[in-house]
Amino acid sequence: MNKSLFIKLLTLSFLMSQIVAANEVFKFHYTFNGENLVVKQEAKDTFQAMSVAAKTCFQHFKGKQKLSSDKGLDLIDTCANPRKI
């Protein structure tokens, strides 16, 4: 019975640690055509933060203008490869 109780408590503590895992703030730096952009993003992991930051980067630098194919690819490359500060 003690072993069963121990396993239940261990499982409960593991589940609780996942619930209270705090988000971390990630900071990314982008440079495109001489303009700098710093994006701070709160997320549970780097992948989530980078995904949202890349979308923010693309929307910021693209604005409402229509990009040429080459410029669009350059922008995608810039936003997909930030420098983490």
**24-81 per-position pLDDT tens digit:** 899 999 999 999 999 999 998 889 999 999 999 999 999 888 989 999 999 999 999 9
| pLDDT tens figures, 44-54 | 888 999 999 99
Least Cα distance to 82 among 42, 21, 32, 45 occurs for 32
pTM above 0.85, yes or no: no
Burial of 3 (0-12, 13-18, 19+ CB in 10 A): exposed
| pLDDT tens figures, 17-29 | 655 557 889 999 9
